[in-house]
Amino acid sequence: MKSIVTILFSVFAILSNAQNKLGPIGQWRAHFDNSSIQQVVKGGNYIYASSPYQIIRIDKHNNNYWIDKSNGLSDININHLSWDEDQSQLVITYTNSNIDILKDDQIYNINAVQLTTLYPDKKINAVQVYKRWAFLATNFGIVVVDLVNHEIKENWYPNNNQQSVVTYDVLIANDSVYATTENGLWSAPVNTNNLQLKAWLHLNEYDPYLLKKLTQLNGIIYGYSSTVVLALPQKKPLLQLKGSIINSINTSVNNLNISIQYPNQKGALLQFNKDMSMATIVDSNILGVPKKCLLDNNNLWIADSLKGLLLKNSSTQWVSLGGTDGRIESFSAINELDMIAPYGPQKKGFAKFNETGWTNYKQIGLSDLPNLHASEINFKDNSFWFTSNYSILKLSNENKLDFIQPNNLPGAFKQIKADQNNNIWAIQDQQGMVKQANNNWITIPLPNTYSKNGLNQFILSNQGQAWIIAPNQQGLYVYQSNSFYANEIWKQYTTQPANGNLPSTNVTSLCKDLNGSIWVGTDNGIGIYNCGDIGSEPCNAYLPIVKNNGFNGYLFQKETVHCISIDGANRKWIGTNNGAWLLSEDGESIIEHFTKLNSPLPNDTVFQILIHPNTGEVFLNTKNQMVSYRGTATNGKETQSTIQIFPNPVSTHFNGNIAIRNLVENALVKVTDLSGKLLYQTTALGGQALWNGRNLQGGKVAAGIYLVFVRDISGNEKSVGKIVIADGY
């Protein structure tokens, strides 16, 4: 027996900030849906629960701390948690067979199983921790992990021919190892002190029961399938179910706690007692899909993959785990105060995020919220607007909800926007547009020759134009009102050079930049429009050409551009099937490219990007979940007021960027010592400048007090700030 591959591991420092704390420039944080909890274990003084994307550590005061890829984990899609009592560490495995070990404030990554090419299927089905070892039941056998040295020790095959075999579970008991496999139940004597393993024995008398899982209680080994429980060595089932299945069995004191699954996403927790009696601990009126349970003193914790984490003691309650109550699948909106994020077609209501964290809304007052398609924030009064099939909803002051029907025409309302005059516009499928001005709603129908079924997305220009993604891959529709130009007109733009010059008629995203240019994403790259009166002037897209790997090509040619967003420096954030990109203002230079391999992105398909105007935090909603990145640019201020500096004071050991924000747009920023000697000079990215704590020669400055001088381009808007660098921070 030998190790399957050369051992690779690395160590990462973690646990720096809680989920809802905004960190320094370049730091990530996760905004995950924690409604699906798969695992719950006790470890030291903590309870650890996990969703597919995140571990929630709960202390004795029920305070939560979130551990995920943004602050140390190596991966996403967690499938097992196991506590190592001897070494006081948490063993974490993932669906891709990666392994993390969390010990104190360190994470040790063991990726040997993940990287091996010896086996086509390396799925980890179960984990048993015993003494200094973790025994991993995989789809090719048993992997033994040394939990002291954090390395793969051996590889076992539960048979006598040393061939790979699908192994469902593994259990160490009575100086023997037991394994359930695709070929039945096997056992072998084992000395776990030096891992001496003798010949395997096939316990073929249990083959008819198709046992998949193993557990033990008071020296008795129990094997079970989805419907049968056996107490070995008995051959007669201890329990046999009909009309329901067993998700898992966990032991506590003298009882077996059985998580049961009924049809229609209903579940229950049953207790099988030593005297063979059965009791229902939590019934199907509460549980959905119970996966695991844990009894800790008088606290019963139940992981439910449909509803979250349930705590039962003197009362029964679902534990708040932070984040959203569901995946965000609709158009979100953001301003200086809040981000609002509708759940979409799978869940009713919306979530709101601000500096206090996430708040979830299922109803307002006595009114239940429906499924919401899109959202917008009116900058004039900070009211929230939503579309929902055949209604538009207005939420004022978080307590007054109005359901609005702009007309009686068929067609669901889709995306909604507020223009620069705070008029509300919305797409109405099968019709065209609706617009609210002075508390009156008007309908703006599409021309009869235009395709109307499938209208979904649009933006508004600075000239009173609505740019609409045409359905059925027919390019763009543009409506020009007479509020800016004299001509009220509709236009359709396609790939024809003299009629739009789009890179593709399959338009996938739209955005207006700070100069008023319209950026159009397609399944074949990006086109940029700078149009005047479309009723009297031709309007065709400019297709940027960029150099990539020594070759010139159109911007994102052959890529699907799902979304485009603009930061405070007018740079472009692009979401594609290959991650998120930050481009220069003109789109010709790549500044950043984030993927799931080089960042905490949970998926490379990025559907929506929103940017907080004051902090520069970039929210990236992916195919799986949402994360955010503290960007370098913020929106500039119209007038210069007090400079905000973070961090400040600054530790002499700090090696990141010091953010100087709340600046007028593109301000000139100078940093000097107290004698006036210039140490650094830069131009703000929108409303924020960065200083890395070094002088013009690249040397790190000493502890002391430093002055920041700010002025706008004309020299009229000025301000002064102070940075303290010292030990002890």
Task: Tell me what pLDDT residue 565 has.
Answer: 98
617, 725, 690: which is closest to 21 by C-alpha? 617
Reference 701, options 666, 675, 667, 665; nearest CA is 675
Mean pLDDT across the chain: 93
Token code pair at residue 138 = 């995989």
At residue 550, the pLDDT reads 64
- The pLDDT tens digits for 196-205 are 999 999 999 9
User: Per residue in 578-625, pLDDT tens?
Assistant: 999 999 999 988 999 999 999 999 999 999 999 999 999 999 999 999
Q: What is the pLDDT of residue 26?
A: 92
| Same-domain check for residues 103 and 245 | yes
Confidence grade of residue 551 (pLDDT, cut at 50, 70, 90): low
Task: Give the mean model confidence (pLDDT) for residues 401-419.
Answer: 96
- Say if 564 falls within a structural domain: no
The total number of structural domains in the chain stands at 3
pLDDT grade, residue 235 (50/70/90)? confident
638 falls within a domain: no
pLDDT tens figures, 506-516: 999 999 999 99
Pair 84, 198 in one domain: yes
pLDDT at residue 15, as a whole number: 34
Averaged pLDDT for residues 480-498: 93
Q: Please report the pLDDT score of residue 5 as a whole number.
A: 33
Residue 396 belongs to some domain of the structure: yes
* 243 and 336 belong to one structural domain: no
Flag whether 291 is in a domain: no
Confidence of residue 20 (pLDDT cuts 50, 70, 90): low
Query: Cα 491–496–499 angle (5° rounding)?
Result: 30
Average the pLDDT over 132-136 and give the result.
97
Q: Would you give the distance in Å from CA 302 to the centre of its chain?
A: 23
- Is residue 513 a contact partner of residue 611, using CB atoms and an 8 Å limit? no
Residues 369/348, Cβ–Cβ less than 8 Å: yes
Tokens of 418: 């507020």
User: What CATH number is given to the structural domain containing 153?
Assistant: 2.130.10.10
One domain for residues 260 and 332: no
Per-residue pLDDT reduced to its tens digit, 290-299? 999 999 999 9
Domain termination residue (choose one: 443, 474, 509): 443
Q: What is the pLDDT of residues 451-479, one digit of tens each?
A: 999 999 999 999 989 999 999 999 999 99
Print the SS3 string covering 668-709: EEEEECCCCCEEEEEECEECEEEECCECCCCCECCCEEEEEE
Residue 204 phi/psi, 5° resolution?
-70, -10
Q: What gap in Å lies between CA 724 and CA 650, rounded to an integer?
A: 6
CA distance 647 to 224: 56
| CATH number for the domain that contains residue 337 | 2.120.10.30
**What number is the average pLDDT over the span 364-372?**
94
* Last-in-domain residue among 382, 414, 443: 443
Q: How confident is the model at residue 18 (pLDDT cuts 50, 70, 90)?
A: very low
Residue 102, pLDDT score: 97
Residue numbers of the domain that contains 674:
644-726
Beta-carbon contacts of 482 under 8 Å, excluding residues fewer than 6 positions away, are 464, 488
CA distance 692 to 654: 9
* Tally of CA atoms within 13 A in the half-sphere of 49 that contains its CB: 32
Residue 165 DSSP class:
-
Q: What is the pTM of this model?
A: 0.90
